[in-house]
Structure 1
Amino acid sequence: MSLQYRSLFPVLWLLVLGSSRIQGQKNEDSNEFTENSSELLDLEHNSLAPQCPKKCACSPEGIVDCGGFSLKEFPIDIPEQTNHLSLQNNQIEEIFPEELARLSKLETLNLQNNRLTSKGLPEEIFDQLENLNYLYLANNQLTGAPKFLPRTLISADFAANNLTRIYDLTFGQKPNLRSVYLHNNKLEDPGLPENMFNGSDNVEVLIMSSNFLKYVPKNLPRALYKLHLKNNKLEKIPKGAFSELLGLRELYLQNNKLTNEGMDNETFWKLSSMEYLDLSSNNLSHIPSGLPRNIVLLHLEKNAIKSIGKDVLTQIKNLEYLLLHNNKLKARGIHPQAFQGLKKLHTVHLYNNQLEKIPSGLPRRVKTLMILHNQISEISRNDFATTYFMEELNLSYNKIISSQIHREAFRKLRLLKSLDISGNNLQTMPYGFPKNLLSLKLKVNEISSIPKGTLSGMSKLQELYMTDSLPFALFLQTLDMADNQLTSIPYDLPESLEYLYLQNNRITTVPEDAFESTPNIKGIYLRFNKIAFNAVKESTFQKLKHLQVLDIEGNFEFSDPWKNVDHSEEDMEEEEEEEEQELEEK
């Protein structure tokens, strides 16, 4: 077993045991442990574990758990043979050197979620812990990191403190060090030594998010595969800052102040192992050049990007996800060959931009295309002529009108399963929807008519949305077209239909053949339309053997049939009796 993973089980035990007592947790990016507590050791007081402190749980294997008891002082009677000690979730403010000096066999020390200050941890506090591998000091009140930590350290967690200073030997000269967590502190560039990891070349995970850094730290360990620097104040990436990080796979730089002037064409190009790059929420005006070819997921959303050049993306041959939403892109700013050769690119987010039309040269193998919340007013015949593999298309909340959707615009989208055109200016349901659609969303439009044949042949359609909030299934059982401006009952209703909701429209008549195609219908809801009393014939519903509910209240005649007619109280009582008798007979 390698030194990196030695004693992993005790570490898991210390963090999981008593987790129900944890009252505070560090905010982000911290190492997580999710082992099932049922698999952990039974740490009831054992006669073979002498001197177990009061309230604590001890085991003969040297594991001591004193977590979550609101302890204000370090227990003085911890057995000297202890190798894994948990004091998390207490109220300890100070630890004296002699209290730890006698615990020279400690491999894991968990002090997270206490009230420790830098004054309460003297410089020599860890001097005697020559076997310490794992140190957890997250969620305390430290302002400066310890000046010296044991050479044997594998993982150190100082997240969610008030650190402003790191020293040369805090993390330096530790050949076994693999992970360092420093997020949610108050670190600034002067508080970091230039050789912070000198002699610690094997660090693989460095989390420094949510600090006040303006520059990428210098001389980063070459073994890094995960680097988090998000939520800082980064303005510039110094030349060569990442040039030695050939194994770096994940780089998080979102929510900083990076500009294109703060990086050059060689900033990222040597990161040959890079798979995940997040540059979102910065001040980029265009996509940086020289991006590595192995990136799989590229975050560029929430910048000020106005254009995509011809060659800026084409070298990223492994790109699968491209997120460019919330920028300032216009269709004319996207080069027709911007996505050429990206055969693995299947998900593209372009929503919340300034696109006035569908960009030309869309990725040929795109499966999910999100173009909602733009300024698109028309869909031309060849806008999607080359995107044969598309399965999900979202065009909602643009400025599309029915007459500007070409009847053959979707002809090549034979694999399309979901189409959303909600929140546009459609007056009538367009023709030419793909026959294999499973979901069609048209809510928040001005649709007043559904021309005959617009839904014919769509035998796989399962969901049709035409209201603000109610979903309904066309092919299965329910169709909900309430709260629109329909003036007539739709044609071509599916045979499988069981419930039809048409309330709150402008329907004036109910033809005798309106429900001939729906023999299984059980509920028809037509309340609050404009149907006249004589515009509905009883024969319309006679053949519907399964009909259970016919709701036609709130129409002109049905809502107040006695309006403008004087009736005596006796007449009203007689009519009520007649109605009750009719109901009983039915």
Structure 2
Amino acid sequence: MEVLTLLLLFIIAPLHLSIQQPSAGKYREKMYKNPTLVYRNLGKCFDLVILGREVLDVREWLTNTKEESKDAKGDALQEERESIVPRGTPTPQSFSNPEAPSIFSNVTPEDPKSITPMEDVLTKVLPRHYSNPDAEAQPVRNAAGTRTTSAIIERREYDQTVTEPSVKSEKNARIGNRKRNGRGKNVKEMKTKKTEHFPYFKDNYCPPDCACYGGVVQCSDKSADKIPYGIPYSSRYILLMNNHINSIQLDLLRGYASLEFLVLSKNRLTDDSVEGAFEGVPALKRLYLDGNLLASVPTDLPASLEELRLDNNRVRVMSESYWARCRGLLVLSLSNNSLGEGSGSLPDAVLSPLQHLRTLNLDHNQLTSVPLGLPLSVKELYLRGNLIEHFGGKAFNGQSRLAILDLSANRLSNKGLPKDALIQASHLESLNLEGNRLQKVPRHLPSSIKTLNLEGNLISAIGRVAFNSLKNLEHLGLAWNKISKVAPGAFLSLRTLHQLDLCHNALSQVPRQLPQGLRSLALTHNKIQSVPRDAFCWGQAGSSLSGLVRVQLADNLMDMGKLDSKAFRCLRGFQVVHFY
């Protein structure tokens, strides 16, 4: 039954997570920027599995407790019987034999008639023990009030002063029997358990507020003010996000030789509270410190570190010496900080020690210029939401491997993008210039670009040769501009173009001579009144079917009765065109 329960948990948990996942194909280049989804769902998966294991453990514990209680009751009853009627004590029938020895031989009554028969004495003494085993029996007295026996019958043994020498040996025999029956052993075990240390930091221990399984310790969202004590040293992933942790105990992390992933996001850590905390973790690869109160980059980072996230802190300054110990860093994220405050830029070559860096995120800071002397190994550079007005050609001192560049939501104009701006970025595939101050399509862009986003600028017209150099362009965004004129054949050179977005502009007609390889065309919220015959169908391709599968023309000024039906002759049907 337990195996079936665990199997059901392992099947249901992934299904539950897969249903909640967003589309994996959209904005693939930015997926790394939202790691919270990954380890939260991971935490959910482990919570479900641990819940199943805890249910099975509680069930087993209840069964063992019931059996131990039953054994304890049996031992108590046996002890009580032995203490009241010890082994070797004569039975009431044996006192009828006049030759039998009597333990009441010292009775000296004044009146022979006051001698109480042995059966009556036992009847007066023994019932007290049976009715209340914890009560001690009082000495038996005769009618004259004198003491009839010096034997004080107790719960566990007779008084040795009134017994025969054989009684003492019987007592020793009873003790030996108890030890042989396991009573002595149990007492010894109880004493050992009292002095035994709790298994902190052991593999089979898990802090009360956490869930542990397979080297993963999930302690997120517990309102903890410090790292839970006793987390197993063998842990590989420790998740502590969304707590109130304001300090890390001195040398607490030194024993975690296997720790690879540590999440301390959204806590209250400061520079002083993390000083020296990470230098003794030799296998640490991923460290998340986003959402804290740090004003600088920690200086004691381990050499094994590959990913560091310091987003949503208060970091203002950065020095080249910060990276002296973690030269193998691959991902560095410093978005939503105060970098560049006052100076407007970072020191030249401040990141030069990071010769293996692949992803650098400096979104939403106060930089007025792109950092100079960036490592040539950087493939993804994010600078969204800064105050950048100029992008010079000295950002890279040589041919870089840059593939993704995000300069959206800045203050770039056409003058801020000179001819040599991207001359060293011959591998660039995605360029985002959304939300700047461009008045025309930038020229001298690398021919390797496949995705170009120019939305939200001030572009008013598209010239015939605007995109002639972009032979590999597949996605082009021109929405939210002021475009009113597009030269015939302006997009004709873009033979690999699949998606074109011209929504929210001022076009009066559909652009002419659109590329034959186009699959999706968005023209909503314009002022379009007509569709030229050579817009979709032109040249020799006019007699064959177009590759368009979706044309959006909603929210325009077209009169459906005046549209030329021949303008749509090469489309796969009117279901391709959406007028509403």
CA–CA distance in structure 2, aligned partners of residues 379 and 370 of structure 1: 15
Equivalent residue for 1:317, pick from 400, 413, 418: 400
Q: What residue is the counterpart of 2:478 in the other structure?
A: 395
Q: What residue is the counterpart of 2:551 in the other structure?
A: 464
* 1:48-197 to 2 correspondences below 5 Å: 101=198, 105-107=202-204, 109=206, 111-112=208-209, 135-145=217-227, 154-172=236-254, 174-193=256-275, 195-197=276-278
Change in CA separation of 1:16 and 1:316 when aligned onto 2, cut-off 3 Å:
farther
AA partner of residue 268 (structure 2): K
CA–CA distance in structure 1, aligned partners of residues 460 and 58 of structure 2: 79
* 1:6-85 to 2 correspondences below 5 Å: 30=39, 32=42, 45=56
Residue deviations 1:189-232 (CA, integer Å, cap 9, x gap):
22222x21233232111111111111111211110011111111
* 1:141-540 to 2 correspondences below 5 Å: 141-145=223-227, 154-172=236-254, 174-193=256-275, 195-259=276-340, 261=343, 263-313=346-396, 315=398, 317-402=400-485, 405-457=486-538, 459-468=546-555, 484=558, 488-492=562-566, 493-494=568-569, 496-498=572-574
* More deviation, 233-242/371-380: 233-242
AA partner of residue 525 (structure 2): V
2:241–2:263 contact (8 Å) kept in structure 1 = yes
2:236–2:261 contact (8 Å) kept in structure 1 = yes
CA–CA distance in structure 2, aligned partners of residues 46 and 149 of structure 1: 20
Decide which structure has greater helix share.
2
Residue deviations 1:509-536 (CA, integer Å, cap 9, x gap):
xxxxxxxxxxxxxxxxxxxxxxxxxxxx
Query: TM-score scaled to structure 1, two decimals?
Result: 0.62
1:483–1:503 contact (8 Å) kept in structure 2 = no
CA–CA distance in structure 2, aligned partners of residues 455 and 134 of structure 1: 57
CA RMSD of aligned residues (A): 4.1
CA–CA distance in structure 1, aligned partners of residues 459 and 250 of structure 2: 56
Change in CA separation of 1:408 and 1:41 when aligned onto 2, cut-off 3 Å:
same
Q: What residue is the counterpart of 2:76 in the other structure?
A: none
2:399–2:426 contact (8 Å) kept in structure 1 = no
* More deviation, 352-361/426-435: 426-435
Q: What residue is the counterpart of 1:74 in the other structure?
A: none
Change in CA separation of 1:197 and 1:312 when aligned onto 2, cut-off 3 Å:
same
Residue deviations 1:473-512 (CA, integer Å, cap 9, x gap):
xxxxxxxxx76356722242326535598989xxxxxxxx
Change in CA separation of 1:107 and 1:258 when aligned onto 2, cut-off 3 Å:
farther
CA–CA distance in structure 2, aligned partners of residues 147 and 16 of structure 1: 29
CA–CA distance in structure 2, aligned partners of residues 275 and 109 of structure 1: 36
Q: Quote the offset at 1:106 in angstroms.
A: 3.3
Q: Quote the offset at 1:249 in angstroms.
A: 1.1
Q: Quote the offset at 1:434 in angstroms.
A: 1.8
1:375–1:399 contact (8 Å) kept in structure 2 = yes
Q: Quote the offset at 1:111 in angstroms.
A: 4.2
Structure 2: segments with no counterpart, 5+ residues: 1-5, 18-34, 66-193
CA–CA distance in structure 1, aligned partners of residues 497 and 274 of structure 2: 53
CA–CA distance in structure 2, aligned partners of residues 177 and 188 of structure 1: 22
- Matched residue SS, 2:206: strand
2:206–2:231 contact (8 Å) kept in structure 1 = no
Q: Quote the offset at 1:183 in angstroms.
A: 0.9
CA–CA distance in structure 2, aligned partners of residues 314 and 422 of structure 1: 39
Q: Quote the offset at 1:366 in angstroms.
A: 0.7
Change in CA separation of 1:133 and 1:413 when aligned onto 2, cut-off 3 Å:
closer
CA–CA distance in structure 2, aligned partners of residues 324 and 218 of structure 1: 29
Change in CA separation of 1:449 and 1:45 when aligned onto 2, cut-off 3 Å:
closer
Change in CA separation of 1:497 and 1:333 when aligned onto 2, cut-off 3 Å:
same
1:331–1:357 contact (8 Å) kept in structure 2 = yes
Structure 1: segments with no counterpart, 5+ residues: 1-11, 55-96, 115-131, 469-481, 505-586
- Matched residue SS, 1:172: coil
CA–CA distance in structure 1, aligned partners of residues 579 and 257 of structure 2: 72
Change in CA separation of 1:108 and 1:326 when aligned onto 2, cut-off 3 Å:
farther
2:201–2:233 contact (8 Å) kept in structure 1 = no
1:314–1:338 contact (8 Å) kept in structure 2 = no
- Matched residue SS, 1:170: coil
CA–CA distance in structure 2, aligned partners of residues 146 and 38 of structure 1: 21
* More deviation, 341-350/103-112: 103-112
CA–CA distance in structure 2, aligned partners of residues 503 and 266 of structure 1: 54
- Matched residue SS, 1:171: coil
- Matched residue SS, 2:252: helix
CA–CA distance in structure 1, aligned partners of residues 197 and 262 of structure 2: 22
1:27–1:160 contact (8 Å) kept in structure 2 = no
- Matched residue SS, 1:169: coil
Residue deviations 1:336-385 (CA, integer Å, cap 9, x gap):
12222423211111111111111111121111111011000122232211
Q: What residue is the counterpart of 2:126 in the other structure?
A: none
Change in CA separation of 1:230 and 1:42 when aligned onto 2, cut-off 3 Å:
closer
Residue deviations 1:21-79 (CA, integer Å, cap 9, x gap):
99xxx96674726589899998875899666789xxxxxxxxxxxxxxxxxxxxxxxxx
CA–CA distance in structure 1, aligned partners of residues 37 and 575 of structure 2: 47
2:552–2:578 contact (8 Å) kept in structure 1 = no
* More deviation, 440-449/198-207: 198-207
CA–CA distance in structure 2, aligned partners of residues 237 and 379 of structure 1: 42
CA–CA distance in structure 1, aligned partners of residues 301 and 217 of structure 2: 21
AA partner of residue 493 (structure 2): K
- Matched residue SS, 2:415: helix
Q: Quote the offset at 1:293 in angstroms.
A: 1.5
Q: Quote the offset at 1:177 in angstroms.
A: 3.1
AA partner of residue 106 (structure 1): D
Q: What residue is the counterpart of 2:107 in the other structure?
A: none
Residue deviations 1:67-117 (CA, integer Å, cap 9, x gap):
xxxxxxxxxxxxxxxxxxxxxxxxxxxxxx999815775345264469xxx
- Matched residue SS, 1:240: helix
- Matched residue SS, 1:298: strand
